[in-house]
Structures are given as C-alpha cells and as structure tokens.
Amino acid sequence: MTRSQKIQSIIEARKPMAELAAQADASLYEIEGQIRKFKNFIPIFSKNLSPEVVANLNALNPTIDHLLSRLSTEKGNIAQLKYRFSRPTLNIGVVGRAKQGKSTLLKALSGLDDDVIPTGVNFCTGAASSLSNVDNLKAGDAIADIEFHTEATFLRDVISPYWRQQLDLGVPEPRSLEEFRRMVLPDKPGEKCSEGNVGGQLLDELRDIQQHLPEFQAYLRGGSERGVPRNSIREFVAQRAKGEKVRLHRWRAVKRANIQCSFPVQDVGRISFVDTPGLGQIAIGLEDYVRETLGGDIDFALFIRRAETGNQTIDDDIRLYDLVAKSINEIPLEQWSSYIINRSQDVAGQLGTLRQNIEGNRHIAFQGGVRELDARNDEEARRELESLLDFLRRSFRSWTRIFTPNE
C-alpha cells in the first residue's frame, strides 16, 4: 500500500466515527429539548398543582440547570469530534517545549527552509501554523493564508490571560485596544502576585506587547490575507527576522497561518502538520491555547524532546502530556501519540537514561512508541512518518470501538 493510500484509508476509517458523533449530537439535542419542555412546564401548570408538588418541582430547578449546562458542554465536545473525524486531511501535531527541534523536523518533512519555518538560537516560531501537502506547487515553494485576530479576540485570547494569571497589576483589565494602549503598567507585579519570579517575566512580556502594538495593530481586523508568497511568510509567523538580529511583532496579530507546499516525500497525499510555538514559552493562556490549537485540529500528537547533557528529568514532559490530554479527553492520549528523542547533539550516552525515564514513568504512555532520530536527517524524519502512518492505520480500529456503544 502506498503512502497516499495509507493516508486515505485512515481518512476513510474516520467516517463511521463522524457518523456516530452526528447521531450522538442528534440524541443530545432531543434530550435537551425534552428537559427544557419539562422546565417550562413548571411555571405554566403550577397554578393547577398543589403547593407541595410545586415546591418539589421548583426544588428540581438547580438539577435541571446543571443538566442543561452539562448537555451544552457535551454538545460542544461532540461537535469537536464530528469536525475532527470529518476532516478531509490527516493532521499530525508536533508538540514540545521551545528549542527542542520541532521546526527542524518539520523542515525535513516539508522541504521548506527558514523563510517559512523559522529556526535559530533564540525563540523563533511565534504564530501557530499548519503545513499542508498539495500537488500544484513546485518543491520548496509555498503560499499561505494568514488568519488574523480581531481587536476583540486579541483582547480575549492574548491580553486577558495576563489578568487571569493573578499578577496583581493594580490596574483593571482593558476593555478596548485603545484602553490597553494608554494603560500605565506597573514597574513590577503587586505583592499579591501568585507567580513568583515568573510574574516579572510575564509583566515584561505584557509591556513588550503594549510597546510594539503600533507595529501590528493594523492587522487586528479579523479575516485573512490569502496567497501570501513564500518570501513574505516568515514576517507573519516568526519572532525574529532571518539572521535573528531584528525582532518581529506582526505574528502577535496572527491566529493561524495555513501554509501549502509540496512535500519532498513522494506520494503522501492529503496530510498536514500542525506546528506550534514552543510550549515552554507560552505561560499565558496555555491551557486555552492547547485546547483550541490542538484539540480541534489534530488526529495525532507527536511529542519531541532534545536529548541534552545533564538534563534527563521529565517533569516538563509530564506537564505537556497532561495539557494535551485535556484537549481531547474522549480518547486516551496514549492511543494517539508517540514520543521522539531528538539526538541532533552529541549526547549518545544520555539517550538511554532519558528513554528509560520516559518509558518507566506510569503517568505518561505512548502507544505510538518512543523512538530516537536526528531531526536534521531528512531520511530519518521520513522513516518516522512511515512508522506513524502504519500505527495510525492500526489505531483507528480501536478508536472505532471506543465510539461504538455495546461493542
């Protein structure tokens, strides 16, 4: 079976699950309707009932409201699953802390360079992006559709989390972009700040956003800019210009960059990779970020960790695992993930210890396996893709059982 046939077989295997999600959505809609009818019955017919019966019915209102709230949540979860299983592409999310080799691996798989997928000594990737394989572009070429925040979503998703972080800033949360622009931020977090030393770093980041707001404010209009050419993509997704000396800020206005290119791997068909900024640097709104960026957009999570001399602890790995697991809690994360140890540095003696720590920890598990590769090696990266496709073909059978009642 060719790669494209494998991918298409995975996409086809999801269709029954999309149908099951649609059936579940219809059932929840009907249940919700019946509960609302019952709730509306109480005030309409209470005058025909005895005071004792009316009191008992009214006592049910908190339970009814709780049920309606739970139904609303579950309907949202079902809608996400329906969208996920109905997508015409196979989406693989690459997850890890900053500077672990995510972008390097994606460059090897996509054939793109620093103009599109930024890498470097400093934090590079700013905006989340997807890389989709298409047949109508030459190898190495790319175009992008850039989705932008509105002022409202920028305030909600980017600015508001700094106030939810309990930095004790001493000023109210801004209700408009102009209010944020004119706001006088304190020199340091207040005494009630719950973030310790990190609080100062977060305040510096907020101040940096405010200072450079004029450089990206014009893009906070919502909508998208389509057909952005290859040589202009970096300025929308990178934190630094090529050469890393000049900082960029336009990426702060970007919700998502959808990049199309022709992968050098032959016959891969309808596949996309979801690239994310290094999660270690996103202290603000991290849980919302993971849920929205990964939860609805990926079929498989590929964790990557660079092997480093003297650092074999996995506390951060466990934290990331928990965050990603929350994004799709209907399917155990171990069933849709694998772990890569990036050995791109000369640390061969450390690999065994790190691998043992990962495989021996009871809190995290990867049915897709724990493997080692050099993210700079194109051939190794493409062999990893082949292994992932074989695993996904097998795993979708078990996923179908999860969503099929009484089987």
Using DSSP bridges, classify how beta strands 337-342 and 129-133 pair: parallel, antiparallel or unpaired.
unpaired
**Residues 372, 241 within the same domain:** yes
- Flag whether 301 is in a domain: yes
**Residues 229, 365 within the same domain:** yes
Residues in the chain: 407
**Residues 182, 284 within the same domain:** no
Q: Which CATH number does the domain housing residue 331 bear? A: 3.40.50.300
Instruction: Please tell me the distance from the alpha carbon of residue 218 to that of residue 229, in angstroms, as a whole number.
Output: 20
Q: How many domains does the chain fold into?
A: 3
- Flag whether 96 is in a domain: yes
**Residues 27, 141 within the same domain:** no
Contact 202, 169 (CB under 8 A): no
Instruction: Please tell me the distance from the alpha carbon of residue 6 to that of residue 322, in angstroms, as a whole number.
Output: 30
**Residues 260, 144 within the same domain:** yes
Q: What's residue 169's pLDDT? A: 83
The answer for 294, left when phi > 0, alpha when psi is -120 to 50, beta otherwise, is: alpha
- Flag whether 382 is in a domain: yes
- Mean residue pLDDT across the chain: 83
**Residues 320, 346 within the same domain:** yes
Domain range for 211 is 152-215
- Flag whether 33 is in a domain: yes
User: Hey, which residues does 261 pair with through a beta bridge?
Assistant: 133, 142
* DSSP one-letter string for 300-334: EEEEEEE-BTTB---HHHHHHHHHHHHHTTTS-GG
Select the more confidently predicted residue: 350 or 255: 255
The letter for the amino acid at 302 is L
Q: What's residue 400's pLDDT? A: 55
**Residues 53, 182 within the same domain:** no
- Flag whether 204 is in a domain: yes
**Residues 286, 335 within the same domain:** yes
**Residues 136, 68 within the same domain:** no
Contact 361, 305 (CB under 8 A): no
**Residues 136, 261 within the same domain:** yes
Select the more confidently predicted residue: 231 or 295: 231
Per-residue pLDDT averaged across 395-399, rounded?
64
Per-residue pLDDT averaged across 252-265, rounded?
90
**Residues 383, 271 within the same domain:** yes
> In degrees, to the nearest 5, what angle opens at C-alpha 355 toward C-alphas 350 and 360?
135
Which of 191, 215, 239 is the C-terminal boundary of a domain?
215
- Read off the pLDDT of residues 300-351 as tens digits, 9 standing for 90 and up: 889 998 887 666 788 888 988 888 888 766 678 888 899 999 986 566 667 7
- Flag whether 68 is in a domain: yes
Instruction: Please tell me the distance from the alpha carbon of residue 191 to that of residue 261, in angstroms, as a whole number.
Output: 50
Which of 160, 184, 215 is the C-terminal boundary of a domain?
215
Select the more confidently predicted residue: 183 or 279: 183
pLDDT above 90: percentage of residues in the chain: 26
Which of 215, 235, 253 is the C-terminal boundary of a domain?
215
Instruction: Please tell me the distance from the alpha carbon of residue 163 to that of residue 178, in angstroms, as a whole number.
Output: 17
- Flag whether 195 is in a domain: yes
**Residue of 113, 118, 111 lying closest to 133 (CA atoms):** 111
Q: Please state which of the ranges 55-64, 151-160, 266-275 shows the lowest mean pLDDT.
A: 266-275
Q: Please state which of the ranges 230-234, 272-276, 336-340 shows the lowest mean pLDDT.
A: 272-276
How confident is residue 210, by pLDDT bands cut at 50, 70 and 90? Answer: very high
- Flag whether 407 is in a domain: no
The SS3 call for residue 142 is strand
- Read off the pLDDT of residues 92-104 as tens digits, 9 standing for 90 and up: 888 888 788 888 8
Q: With 90 as the cut, is the pLDDT of residue 125 above it?
A: no
**Residues 169, 238 within the same domain:** no
- Read off the pLDDT of residues 18-75 as tens digits, 9 standing for 90 and up: 888 899 999 999 999 999 998 888 888 788 888 888 888 888 889 999 999 999 988 8
